[in-house]
Every structure is written in structure tokens, then in C-alpha cells.
Structure 1
Amino acid sequence: MKVILAGYSKTGTKTMAAAFRLLGFTTYDFLENYYYAYEGWEKIFKGTATVEDIKKTFEGVDAVTDTPACHYWEELHEAFPEAKIIFTCRDEDSWYKSMVNQIELLNQTKVSWFLSAFAPACYLRDGYQRFMYRYLGDFSRFPIPIIKPHLEKVLRAHYKYHNANVLEKAPKDKLLVYKLSDGWEPLCEFLGVPVPKEPFPHRNKGGNIIEEVTKSDAVVAKLLGQAMIGASVVTGCLGYLAYNLFSSGTWTSVTQALYNIF
């Protein structure tokens, strides 16, 4: 592994993942960690992962970004001590506003529900999701009226503690405190790679990550394909069941019984 992004979610993690990929780095962002590395993450969440387990999980991976990697940057750096650490940050108020906006959008979308209901891969990764909820918290599961004001202090405390911990503990010779507005030059100099010809990317502007990943993310494309097949199978089975109930007269008996009850 070449680089660990230790910046908290909503500090430009999607932009940094895009930048790393433009630099030619194989990058595990949130969805890649979920889809490809879930078994290794379950061990990390439990605290049973050895250094060798972590090395095996991320074999061939050049960069990691976003949750849960940012919360376990120390464990990752222990396994890959030569990796460089990049810390992205933004002022607390704008970060909080962006985080709540992201949660609100996630609560409104039906994509995650559709995938969870019909994509078989999501069932295989149920343990990963449960550990995420338990150890890191999943504030997207709470509606906005609960987040404000009851969990606002929790969200802000998480953010402040995380930032202070990275700045205090990350080895200074391996750390770059970076702003997205700095562009390619300081990032490429720190990583020892040439500056690309492409403009520096900007992702998830205005919290439109759902639209972005649905259109272009390879992991989401795989999950959507599975979910479409799963939904078709379920629909076909229900149709077959209904046909047999009607054909046998059982459906009439069921509806009559329900009518008599109610």
C-alpha cells in the first residue's frame, strides 16, 4: 500500500479517491472495501486481525479512502509502515452541514433498500454491515429530526476527536495535511509521482454521490445487476404462486376467510 487517506468522511474522500485513480493507484474507497474486503474488515472490526491478515486483505491495493479505512488508519499503517498518510480536513460547521445533507439524501434514496433486498452479495456482507453499525456508528439509519439536535454533539465529537488523533499520532515524516484547493502539485510531490495532464477532479459536489455512483461505479453496477436478477426471480415466483392459488381455488378460500374475519 502506498497511501492511506486518514481524512474523515465528507472531507473530500470521493475527490481523493478519483485523484488517486488518475495517478494510477488501485484504490479501495467505501464501496470497494465493502464489496471486496469485507471478510478482512470483519476481523479488523473484531480486533482479531493480525498484520498478516491486513496485508493479505489489501494485497495489490495502492490506496484506501473513506470509512472504515480512515478510522483504522493506525492499524493499516502498522501493516504498511512505508505507506504515506494524507489528512484532509474542513471547518467543523461546513463539515457538519455536509454530513447531515448526505445523511438526508441517503434516507431519501431507494437504491440502498433495493440492493439490500434483492442483491445476494449484500446478504454475504451482512456481518460487515452489522460491525460497521456497532463499532463506527451508522448515523444514516436515523431520520434527520433525530440527528438534530440529539446526535449533533455526537457527530461533532467524533469529528473533532478523529482529527486531533490523526494530527497527534501520525508520523510527521509520513504525513501530508492537504486541502483539495491545493491541487495536484503538493499531492504529487508528496507521493513522488508526476503531475497528470488531467485537471484535478472534484466529486460529490452538493452531496450528489448517489447519482454519481449509480451512473459510474463498477461495484454499484455489479450490485444493481444482481438486484435486478433477484427482483425478477422473486416477482416470477410470486406470480407463479398467485397463478396456482387462483387455479386451484385456494385464493378464493383465502380471500373469503379474510373477508369473514374483517
Structure 2
Amino acid sequence: MGNQASVPKPGTKFQVIGAGLSRTGTASFSEALHILLDGPVYHGGTQTTMGHPVEIRSWIKLLSHWPPSNEADKKLVFQILRERFNGYAAATDAPTSGLVKELIELYPNAKVICTVRDPDAWVKSMEGVSNAATMWFLRVVLFPLPGMRHFVDYINALREQWLYLYGEREPVTRQTYNQHIEWLKETVPEGRLVFFSVKDGWGPLCKALGKEVPHIPFPNINDGEAIERFARLMVKRGLVRWLAIFSTLGIAIISYFYM
């Protein structure tokens, strides 16, 4: 998760489908792609939580019609994908990682790159994200915040996507990670799929994209710390909004009865 949502740049060619699961270095990967492709990158975690409310609402709508069971559903799914990724050079993180089948059809010339990490470390990392996303009070606390009031519904939609693809929601296990890798190998045409660890730096990524190695350090963004900071910030903002609402309501009631 980056520090702020990216802004689309009209006319940008879509070049990379980020197929790596969340918590596999997708934030660092996104920044690296931004540098190499010289264009905005759509990082799902950042765009849905820090972008305009239409972002998160669009994904909830798409996932409610996914996997498409008829031509009308397929048309809607592809329409939303075009709208969300128009003006971006690449897309990473959820829900992109679970929509690879649709994206390789929509962008037949795009490279598919899956960020990877040690499966056991990934499982441990996902535990914290899952716990934070399932706190019972989130729906109430976040309700005053446009966009974020839909966060719980969005997470639930992602859970259904994972259940369909991997047969489990949470707690996640190595099975989810391994099934994702096998699903990509079965889904992506030969020659279009690349596996990449952000620990390996510029070399392998630049080779896969046919780019020169930049003369700057490879981006290092700690997704876990960013998620924790964001969660604290959103809860704080939600509580402040509720305080303002109740304060305004209290003043209105006092004014009505005593003035």
C-alpha cells in the first residue's frame, strides 16, 4: 500500500498485469513499475482505500458479477476493468491478482508478473491483515467516511473471490499461496508469465520488461507498516467524524428546547 492514490494519465498504454497476491511486495513492485514504465500504476490496496469512492464501489459491483455466468455479466466485468485501468501502465495487488483470466483477454500484449515470497512468511503476514479487516466495529466506525464505509463489503467480496479460486477464505494457508501459483501457470499462456521477488531488485524485473536498470535503489515499501498506519488513521478519522456528528446533533437539540 502506497502513500497516496495514483492519478491516471490519459493515453497511457497498459503493459503489466500484476498477478502477485497481497503482501508479496506489491507496493514496492508498483513503485518499481512506475519508474520503469514512466506511468501511473494502479495498486489495488491503495486505490480502493485512498482513492475516490467510485473505486471501491466499482470493485464491489464487479465482484458481485464475478465470475461472469453470462454475456451480460462478462460485459459488465470488462467494462469496469477498462474504466478502472484506463490511463494506467500497470495494475497490482487485489483484486487484480484474482482477475488475471479476464485481464489477459482484455490486454493480450501485457506481461503477467507475479510477485512471490516465502509461503510461510506470507501466511504469517496475512494473519495481521485478516485480523485488522475483520474487527467487528469497523462498519460502524467507518460509516461517516465516503468510500471507506464500503470497506467491509469490499473485504467480504474479496473473501468470496478467494473462496472460488482457492477453496478457502481465512485463515489463509500455504494451500492458498500454492494454488494461486498453479492457477496462474494453468491460466496464463506460455511466455507471458514471470515470477519475481522484490528481494532480487532491478535485474530480473528489468530483464523481463526489456528495460535498462535505473541508477537508483530499488523501492522498499513496507506493506505491513503502511497498512497499520492506514488502519489507525481511518479509525481515528471515523471517530472524529462521529464526534462531530454527535456534537452537532447535541447543539441542535439544545437549541431546539432552550432557545
TM-score (norm 1): 0.70
1:113–1:40 Cα change, 3 Å = closer
- 1:210 alignment partner AA: I
Give the aligned partner of residue 62 of structure 2: 43
Following superposition, the deviation at residue 196 of structure 1 comes to 2.3
Q: Is the 8 A contact 2:63 2:161 kept in 1?
A: no
- Measured in 2, the distance between the counterparts of 1:93 and 1:181 equals 16
Give the aligned partner of residue 27 of structure 1: 41
Give the aligned partner of residue 176 of structure 2: 158
SS of 2:24's partner is coil
Residue range with higher mean Cα deviation, 67-76 or 41-50: 41-50
Q: 1:13 aligns with which of 20, 26, 39?
A: 26
- Measured in 2, the distance between the counterparts of 1:124 and 1:132 equals 13
Following superposition, the deviation at residue 55 of structure 1 comes to 2.3
Residue range with higher mean Cα deviation, 65-74 or 84-93: 84-93
- Measured in 2, the distance between the counterparts of 1:227 and 1:192 equals 45
Give the aligned partner of residue 75 of structure 1: 102
Following superposition, the deviation at residue 84 of structure 1 comes to 0.5
Q: 1:97 aligns with which of 118, 124, 147?
A: 124
Q: 2:202 aligns with which of 172, 178, 184?
A: 184
- Measured in 2, the distance between the counterparts of 1:224 and 1:21 equals 30
Q: 1:173 aligns with which of 181, 191, 197?
A: 191
Q: Deviations over 1:75-96 (max 9, x none)?
A: 1111111110111222322211
Report whether the alignment pairs 1:84 with 2:111.
yes
Q: Is the 8 A contact 2:41 2:91 kept in 1?
A: yes
Larger Rg: 1
Q: What is the correspondence of 1:1-262 to structure 2 with a 5 Å cutoff? A: 1-23=14-36, 24-29=38-43, 30-33=45-48, 35=51, 36-41=54-59, 42-46=61-65, 47=68, 48-50=73-75, 51-104=78-131, 116-123=142-149, 128-136=154-162, 151-152=170-171, 155-204=173-222, 207-211=224-228, 213=230, 230-231=241-242, 233-244=244-255, 247=258
- Measured in 2, the distance between the counterparts of 1:61 and 1:209 equals 22
Q: Is the 8 A contact 1:10 1:98 kept in 2?
A: yes
SS of 2:182's partner is helix
User: Hey, which of these two has a bigger chunk of helix by percent?
Assistant: 1
**Unpaired segments ≥5 residues, structure 2:** 1-13, 164-168
1:214–1:171 Cα change, 3 Å = same
Instruction: Tell me the matched-pair count.
Output: 228
The sequence identity of aligned pairs, in percent, is 27
Following superposition, the deviation at residue 123 of structure 1 comes to 4.2
Q: Is the 8 A contact 2:16 2:110 kept in 1?
A: yes
- Measured in 1, the distance between the counterparts of 2:153 and 2:130 equals 22
Q: Is the 8 A contact 1:40 1:49 kept in 2?
A: no
- 1:163 alignment partner AA: I
**Unpaired segments ≥5 residues, structure 1:** 138-149, 249-262
